[in-house]
Amino acid sequence: MMNNTILADGRWSGIHGIGRFSTEVLSRLKQADILTEGPHPLSLQNIIWQTRQLHRYKKKYKIFFTPGFNPVIYSPIPFVLTVHDLIHWHLPESTSFSKKMYYHFLIKPSILRAHTILTVSDYSKKTILEWANIPENKVVNVSCGISQTLTKEGPKHTPGYPYLLHVGNASKAHKNVARLLQAFANVKIDSRLRCVFTGEFSPELNQLVKKCHLENRIVIQQNLSDSVLAEYYRGAEAVVFPSLYEGFGLSILEGMACGVPVITSNVTSMPEIAGDAAILVDPMRVDSITEGIEKILGDTALRMELIERGLKRAASFSWDKTAAITQKALEN
């Protein structure tokens, strides 16, 4: 571990969200060695472990890069931190007193000490600048890309019924699945229509399913590989993603790349990512979500137009581009 100039934290790597960003970017970095073992990057014991690692390698590397927002309390070398969003600070449904304290006493000081902050949307950049009160040139929007397996071409999931698809951690409050379930129950187009979720439901969501009489219309499919997920995207009538808060919202682009119309929210970063290629709804209003679903299912011409726009929109994002911007930020 002596020939490269970048020490990168690989402990975030995984399938979705920050894990996806980490996997895709780190696999493309040049002149980088990857840390793969150690405590969870957000754990308190990580602060001591990480400090020891940075001290150990201080003469071997020019910069430390983390694709997540693990706090760096002390570093003998410059470091680059990635802050994808400030959801745990801004959104009441996703925060707590302990999270607020964690952000205030650990994350913000790390941002102030960092050489550069990376983020994934102009919206997130704006919120970070305002929250941390730092110079604009210290935050770089590197955006996100799309897995090469998530394309329009390929087999489709054909379960024998039409379905909407929601990709994400359904139990997280900001994903707004409770309102989506209520909206889905009100859709008046096709009683055969089902809603497929890729994340496990909380007990509260399961109770809501029963209350809305949706037991036979909700399907949960977890732990899908990229290739199988692509089949689910391609087979869907539409992707529904009425989140309350996103730093980016990968499933918006993933649905578009697979040739599926998308319904998403008109708040935070989602209009920025969707552009003119999706139906935007008010995520706080059940009737707005219902109207969006009925509109996209009932208007064939609109569907075709959104699919065409979506494919063009998705094509403008790539992990190669994200990695290149990241590499430049690490070398500056």
**235 has a pLDDT exceeding 80:** yes
Query: Tens digits of per-residue pLDDT, 211-224?
Result: 999 999 999 999 89
pLDDT at 16: 73
Query: Tens digits of per-residue pLDDT, 309-322?
Result: 999 999 999 999 99
- Please name the residue that has the structure tokens 């925060």: 95
pTM of the model as a whole: 0.93
The one-letter amino acid code at 272 reads: E
Q: Is the dihedral of CA 53, 330, 86, 288 positive or negative?
A: negative
pLDDT at 3: 58
Q: What is the mean pLDDT of residues 111-116?
A: 96
| pLDDT class of 145 with cuts at 50, 70, 90 | very high
Most distant pair of Cα atoms in the chain: their distance = 65
CB-facing half-sphere around the CA of 245: CA atoms within 13 A? 17
Q: What is the DSSP string of 165-217?
A: EE-S-TTSGGG-HHHHHHHHHH--S-TT-EEEESSPPPHHHHHHHHHTT-TTT
Same fold, 6-145+318-331 and 163-315: yes
Residue range 163-315, CATH number: 3.40.50.2000
Contact 165, 238 (CB under 8 A): yes
pLDDT at 28: 97
Q: What is the mean pLDDT of residues 294-300?
A: 95
Residue range 6-145+318-331, CATH number: 3.40.50.2000
Where are the domains positioned within the chain?
Answer: 6-145+318-331, 163-315
For the chain, the average pLDDT equals 94
Query: Tens digits of per-residue pLDDT, 270-294?
Result: 999 999 999 999 999 999 999 999 9
pLDDT at 332: 84
pLDDT at 189: 84
Give the residues across from 163 on adjacent strands. 194
pLDDT at 90: 87
**1 has a pLDDT exceeding 60:** no
13-17, 57-61, 63-67, 199-203: the lowest-pLDDT one: 13-17
10-14, 82-86, 277-281, 287-291: the lowest-pLDDT one: 10-14
86-95, 151-160, 234-243: the lowest-pLDDT one: 86-95
Q: Is the dihedral of CA 260, 261, 266, 269 positive or negative?
A: positive
**30 has a pLDDT exceeding 80:** yes
The strands making up 139-141's β-sheet, listed across from edge to edge, are 32-35, 6-9, 63-66, 79-82, 116-119, 139-141
| pLDDT class of 21 with cuts at 50, 70, 90 | very high
| pLDDT class of 92 with cuts at 50, 70, 90 | confident
Give CA–CA dist 188/282, Å, rounded: 19
